[in-house]
Amino acid sequence: MSQFDVVILGGGSGGYACALRSSQLGLSVALIEENKLGGTCLHRGCIPTKALLHAGEVADSSRHSADFGVNTQFIGIDMLAVNAYKDGVVSKLHKGLQGLVKSRNVTYIEGHGRLVSKNEVEVNGVKYTGKNIVLATGSYPKTLPGLDIDGTQIITSEQAIAMDRVPKSVIVLGGGVIGCEFASVWKSFGSEVTIIEGLPHLIALEDESSSKGLERAFRKRGINFELGTRFKSASKDAKGVTVTLEDGKTFTAEVLLVAVGRGPVSANLGYEEAGLNMDRGYVLVDNKCRTNVPGIWAVGDLIPTLQLAHVGFGEGILVAEEIGGLNPRPINYDGVPRVTYSEPEVASVGLTTAQAKERGHDVVELNYDLAGNGKAQILKTAGAIKLVAAKNGPILGIHMVGARVGELLAEAQLIFNWEAEASDVAALIHAHPTLSEAVGEAHLALAGKPLHAHG
């Protein structure tokens, strides 16, 4: 059969979520993938990086175990074993996902697809017709002009994930989420790390307080960074890569990781020919992920929304439900949780202080230092939870720095998305001693009845 209700191009987070939900709704679905089902997140992104970060956490725990009265000796990192662990996690999830897609009766087509008309995608000379076409071709790692990725000395996250050794030294170009996560991994593994970031802060899209908190923690860990200074050029020799900045400073390291953002995969796929509205390669959509061409939809990193796997899942599900006639609510992108999984973690939902002010809110803020939290002391982590709220109104943003704070987002996103006020949360008893207690304490303090808070 080559006629379907839904033909999906790209089997990453956005594409496969759309396929699974569409078939659940009784629609016939074809899912086209040229590489591996699961896409960037499963094979080259979220999952392998988090496995590397966890290995880094284990390394740091063994290094610092004497701080907890446990004597161990850190001997070193065996990258072959680290990769076997990481690849094992990926492979298990990959097999599970393949089974899931099969069990839901999705027709899985392997090969390179191209949009050849408003309702057809061609793969290996065969045309697949869809009443609806969903484009989910994802993104690729960008580089800068004059910076050639050779895959060994100058690399992107794709090679960084698969490295078979720990480099002695690394320059990370780009202090966004991906750059900071790799900087954290390599520092834990024993490399000398320098981050170069053109903006004034690391993870500059986060609230400034979180950026500063991460910078403080990275400085303490011995991760070097240069902020507000732009890359000029790079040269290579047998010793490594030398990076020159516009301010004249130079840095040399064994490896240069280029982490300057990701661009949409949309070239030569027939998108322009189909008449799709596009901007810098991104496919433009409305709040239901509809393109300007009726029957063609686009989701995930291909569209200019937050480049996160769970955003792809959400958009894929939204499209399936819209096609299925359920008239779902559009996504509120402010309410999407965001995590940088470095050590320490940075997690947030909602608006930064600057955004809340820009949108005209009369803003109140509260900063709760994790120094007052028992579990944080047990874990020996530092950090804070910052609340941004409307005066006499709901919580507008929650911004957290510290070990494991990503796990606190589950509650934070309910608070934000259900438009809770500080007094609503203050009335809830949090388990002691947990890190989540700090979320409760922050709201107690903002509601005017601080418990374990000084000042």
Ligand X SMILES: Cc1cc2nc3c(=O)[nH]c(=O)nc-3n(C[C@H](O)[C@H](O)[C@H](O)COP(=O)(O)OP(=O)(O)OC[C@H]3O[C@@H](n4cnc5c(N)ncnc54)[C@H](O)[C@@H]3O)c2cc1C
CA proximity to 398, closest of 422, 374, 427? 422
- Work out how close the CB of 348 gets to ligand X at its nearest, in angstroms, rounded to a whole number: 13
DSSP conformational letter for 402: E
DSSP conformational letter for 237: E
Q: Which helix (H) or strand (E) holds 282?
A: strand 282-283
Q: Which is nearer to ligand X, 317 or 444 (CB)?
A: 317
Q: Which is nearer to ligand X, 267 or 428 (CB)?
A: 267
- Work out how close the CB of 156 gets to ligand X at its nearest, in angstroms, rounded to a whole number: 8
- Work out how close the CB of 303 gets to ligand X at its nearest, in angstroms, rounded to a whole number: 8
- Work out how close the CB of 122 gets to ligand X at its nearest, in angstroms, rounded to a whole number: 10
Within 8 A by CB and 6+ apart from 69, the residues are none
Q: Which is nearer to ligand X, 263 or 374 (CB)?
A: 263
Query: Where do the H-state alpha helices sit in 290-352?
Result: 309-323
With 0-12 / 13-18 / 19 or more C-beta atoms within 10 angstroms meaning exposed / middle / buried, residue 264 is buried
- Residue 251 CB-half CA count within 13 A: 26
What Å distances lie between residue 83 and 12, 18, 71, 167, 408, CA to CA?
A: 22, 31, 26, 15, 29
Rounded distance between C-alpha atoms, residue 104 and residue 19, angstroms: 9
- Work out how close the CB of 65 gets to ligand X at its nearest, in angstroms, rounded to a whole number: 27
Q: Which is nearer to ligand X, 55 or 420 (CB)?
A: 55
The CA-CA-CA angle for residues 266, 122, 268, to 5°, reads 25
In this structure, the number of other CB atoms found within 10 A of the CB of residue 308 comes to: 20
Instruction: Determine which one of 432, 443, 452, 454 is catalytic.
Output: 432
Rounded distance between C-alpha atoms, residue 163 and residue 151, angstroms: 10
Q: Please give, one letter per residue, the 3-state secondary structure of 100-141.
A: HHHHCCCEEEECCEEEEECCEEEECCEEEEEEEEEECCCEEE
Q: Per-residue DSSP letters for 199-216?
A: SSSTTTTS-HHHHHHHHH
Indicate if 432 belongs to the active site. yes
Binding residues (CB under 6 A) for ligand X: these are 9-15, 32-35, 39-41, 44-46, 49, 112-113, 136-139, 157, 178, 265, 269, 300-302, 307-310, 312, 341
Q: Which is nearer to ligand X, 101 or 422 (CB)?
A: 101
Q: Which residues pair with 313 in a beta bridge?
A: none
Q: Which is nearer to ligand X, 161 or 425 (CB)?
A: 161
Q: Which residues pair with 346 in a beta bridge?
A: 340, 401
Q: Which helix (H) or strand (E) holds 157?
A: helix 157-160
Q: Which residues are catalytic?
A: 432
